[in-house]
Amino acid sequence: MLRYSINRIIWFIPTLLAMAAVTFLIMSVTPGSPFDPSAGNGVNPETIANLERLYGLDRPLPERFGKYVWNAVHGDFGVSYHSRPQTVKDIIGRTFPVSLQLGAMATVFAVVIGMTLGTLAAVNQNGWLDYFSVTLAILFYSMPNFVMGFVLILFFVVWLPNHGIDLGLPVGGWGGPRDWILPMIALGAAPLATLARYTRSSMIEVIRSDFVRTARAKGLTENGVVVKHVLKNALVPVVTLIGPIFAAVGTGSFFVEQVFNIPGMGKFFVTSMQVQDQTMILAVVLLYGVFLAAMNLAVDLIYGLIDPRIRY
The answer to whether 27 and 281 are in contact (CB under 8 A) is yes
pLDDT at 277: 80
Closest by Cα among 241, 240, 210 to 225:
210
Dist CA 271 CA 248 (whole Å): 18
**Mean pLDDT score, 299-308:** 73
Per the model's pLDDT, the better-predicted residue between 234 and 32 turns out to be 234
Most confident option among 37-41, 50-54, 103-107: 103-107
pLDDT band at 86 (very low <50, low <70, confident <90, very high): confident
Positive or negative, the CA dihedral 214, 220, 226, 230 is negative
Question: For residue 191, is the peptide bond before it cis, meaning its omega torsion is within 30 degrees of 0?
Answer: no
Dist CA 215 CA 213 (whole Å): 5
pLDDT at 43: 62
The answer to whether 290 and 8 are in contact (CB under 8 A) is no
Dist CA 155 CA 157 (whole Å): 6
Question: What CATH number labels 89-268+295-306?
Answer: 1.10.3720.10
Q: How many CB atoms lie within 10 A of CB 136?
A: 18
The answer to whether 144 and 225 are in contact (CB under 8 A) is no
Tell me: the pLDDT tens digits for 182-195? 999 999 999 999 99
Confidence check: pLDDT of 39 > 50: no
To the nearest 10°, the Cα dihedral for 34, 38, 39, 40?
130
pLDDT at 185: 92
Closest by Cα among 186, 185, 203 to 130:
203
pLDDT band at 10 (very low <50, low <70, confident <90, very high): confident
Confidence check: pLDDT of 276 > 70: yes
Closest by Cα among 35, 44, 206 to 123:
206
pLDDT at 109: 94
Amino acid at residue number 284: V
Average pLDDT score, the chain: 81
* DSSP code of residue 163: T
Per the model's pLDDT, the better-predicted residue between 224 and 311 turns out to be 224
Percent of the chain with pLDDT over 70: 93
Tell me the domain boundaries of the chain.
89-268+295-306
Per the model's pLDDT, the better-predicted residue between 30 and 240 turns out to be 240
pLDDT band at 309 (very low <50, low <70, confident <90, very high): low
Dist CA 70 CA 54 (whole Å): 18
Confidence check: pLDDT of 108 > 90: yes
Q: How many CB atoms lie within 10 A of CB 168?
A: 8
Tell me: the pLDDT tens digits for 132-170? 888 888 888 888 888 888 899 898 888 888 887 878 788
Per the model's pLDDT, the better-predicted residue between 312 and 58 turns out to be 58
Dist CA 146 CA 148 (whole Å): 5
Confidence check: pLDDT of 204 > 50: yes
pLDDT band at 38 (very low <50, low <70, confident <90, very high): low
Angle at CA 151, nearest 5°, toward 106 and 96?
A: 35
The answer to whether 265 and 98 are in contact (CB under 8 A) is yes
Backbone angles phi, psi at 304, to 5 degrees: -65, -25
Confidence check: pLDDT of 122 > 50: yes
